[in-house]
């Protein structure tokens, strides 16, 4: 089904570094599952997009402040966010997980995080989880704006652990980052494309129509397969 766009160009806000969903390749071009899915959806439905890769919390703020019409950033659909945003059908199943520097054998459970520092990106599901469980486990949370700072802090030993979406940690490990994931992941976290509540409904419709078609033709699997090989 073809939906009519209502704007000449839709401004899309996204994360700045969230491989394999959005990241810069060797030619400094942004690629990734989110980028490819939305770019393809725009081609299929005949609408124009302009990406702005400004970081996760920046992307949320852009949407809130009407500087963006839509946001795609491995954003998890949850009840709290549904109060402020309308989401597309879910396009990826994720979950969050603790990671430590490879070789750090002192952390094997959440209880082992007592007295330790744990990092997360501002405004994310991981940050929310850490805030919720801070008193229970007795760690201190450190916040980062971007993933590169967060991952560097764990590798450099400035923090003891971090929490992020497991496909993103898995991708980092597959790319040679020296991290391990000693604690079972928290399930959930369906990713959705989002607009500000009540705005640009046609954008969500166009994405949903294209997503359905990409799943039907196998193009969805082809796009994901460009970045994620057999479960890692
Ligand atoms: N899925 C997580 C969330 O929605 C993290 C997204 C991200 O860091 N880009 O909070």
| Mean per-residue pLDDT, 13-41 | 97
- Give the number of the atom of ligand 1 that is nearest the alpha carbon of residue 125: 10
Evaluate: CB of 125 within 6 angstroms of ligand 1.
Answer: yes
pLDDT tens, residue by residue, 95-120: 999 999 999 999 999 999 999 999 99
Q: What one-character-per-residue DSSP string does 159-196 give? A: SSEEEEEHHHHHHHHHTT--EE--SPPEEEEEE--EEE
Q: How far apart are CA 215 and CA 56, in angstroms?
A: 26
Evaluate: CB of 18 within 6 angstroms of ligand 1.
Answer: yes
Evaluate: CB of 15 within 6 angstroms of ligand 1.
Answer: yes
Query: 56 pLDDT band (50/70/90 cuts)?
Result: very high
| Mean per-residue pLDDT, 223-227 | 97
**Six-digit token pair at 188?**
């959930």
Task: Please check the confidence at residue 228 and state whether its pLDDT lies above 70.
Answer: yes
Query: 182 pLDDT band (50/70/90 cuts)?
Result: very high
Q: How far apart are CA 125 and CA 39, in angstroms?
A: 25
What is the 77 CA–ligand 1 centroid distance (Å)?
10
- Give the number of the atom of ligand 1 that is nearest the alpha carbon of residue 124: 10
| Mean per-residue pLDDT, 167-172 | 96
| Mean per-residue pLDDT, 84-101 | 98
Task: Please check the confidence at residue 230 and state whether its pLDDT lies above 80.
Answer: no
Query: 229 pLDDT band (50/70/90 cuts)?
Result: confident
- Give the number of the atom of ligand 1 that is nearest the alpha carbon of residue 164: 5
Task: Please check the confidence at residue 25 and state whether its pLDDT lies above 80.
Answer: yes
Report the pLDDT value the prediction gives residue 174, as an integer from 0 to 100. 95
Q: How far apart are CA 225 and CA 231, in angstroms?
A: 10
Query: 169 pLDDT band (50/70/90 cuts)?
Result: very high
Q: Which residues of 95-128 are buried (b: 16+ CB within 10 A; e: fewer)?
A: bbbbbbbeebeebeebebbeebbbbbbebbbbbb
Evaluate: CB of 75 within 6 angstroms of ligand 1.
Answer: yes
The single residue listed with the structure tokens 């799943």 is 215
Evaluate: CB of 23 within 6 angstroms of ligand 1.
Answer: no
What is the 212 CA–ligand 1 centroid distance (Å)?
23
Report the pLDDT value the prediction gives residue 232, as an integer from 0 to 100. 47
Query: 188 pLDDT band (50/70/90 cuts)?
Result: confident
Task: Pick the range with the lowest mean pLDDT from 47-51, 117-121, 138-142, 226-230.
Answer: 226-230
3-state secondary structure of 132: helix
Q: How far apart are CA 176 and CA 171, in angstroms?
A: 9
| Mean per-residue pLDDT, 33-38 | 98
- Give the number of the atom of ligand 1 that is nearest the alpha carbon of residue 189: 1
Query: 187 pLDDT band (50/70/90 cuts)?
Result: confident
Evaluate: CB of 189 within 6 angstroms of ligand 1.
Answer: yes
The single residue listed with the structure tokens 């604690």 is 183
- CA-only gyration radius of the chain, Å: 18
**What percent of the chain shows pLDDT beyond 90?**
97
**Six-digit token pair at 81?**
């966010």
Q: How far apart are CA 219 and CA 216, in angstroms?
A: 8
- Give the number of the atom of ligand 1 that is nearest the alpha carbon of residue 123: 10
Q: How far apart are CA 136 and CA 6, in angstroms?
A: 49
Evaluate: CB of 74 within 6 angstroms of ligand 1.
Answer: yes
Give the predicted TM-score (pTM) of the model: 0.96
Identify the residue with better confidence: 140 or 187.
140
Task: Please check the confidence at residue 141 and state whether its pLDDT lies above 80.
Answer: yes
What is the 96 CA–ligand 1 centroid distance (Å)?
9
Evaluate: CB of 34 within 6 angstroms of ligand 1.
Answer: no
Pocket test residue of 15, 54, 56 for ligand 1, highest count of atoms within 8 A of CB: 56
């Amino acid at each position: 089904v073809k939906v009519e766009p209502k704007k000449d160009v839709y401004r899309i806000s996204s994360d700045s570094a969230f491989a394999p969903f959005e990241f810069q390749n060797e030619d400094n071009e942004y690629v990734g599952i989110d980028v490819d899915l939305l770019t393809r959806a725009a081609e299929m439905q005949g609408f124009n997009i302009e990406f702005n890769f400004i970081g996760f919390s920046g992307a949320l703020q852009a949407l809130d402040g009407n500087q963006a019409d839509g946001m795609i950033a491995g954003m998890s659909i949850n009840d709290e966010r549904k109060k402020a945003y309308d989401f597309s059908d879910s396009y990826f199943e994720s979950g969050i997980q603790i990671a430590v520097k490879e070789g750090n054998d002192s952390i094997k459970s959440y209880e082992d995080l007592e007295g330790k520092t744990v990092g997360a990106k501002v405004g994310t599901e991981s940050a929310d989880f850490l805030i919720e469980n801070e008193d229970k486990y007795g760690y201190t949370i450190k916040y980062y704006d971007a993933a590169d700072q967060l991952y560097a802090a764990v590798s450099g030993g400035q923090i003891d652990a971090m929490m992020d979406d497991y496909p993103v940690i898995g991708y980092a490990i597959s790319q040679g980052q020296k991290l391990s994931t000693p604690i079972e992941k928290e399930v959930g976290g369906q990713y959705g494309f989002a607009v500000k509540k009540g705005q640009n409904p046609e954008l969500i419709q166009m994405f949903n129509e294209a997503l359905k078609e990409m799943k039907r033709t196998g193009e969805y699997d082809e796009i994901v397969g460009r970045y994620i090989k057999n479960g890692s």
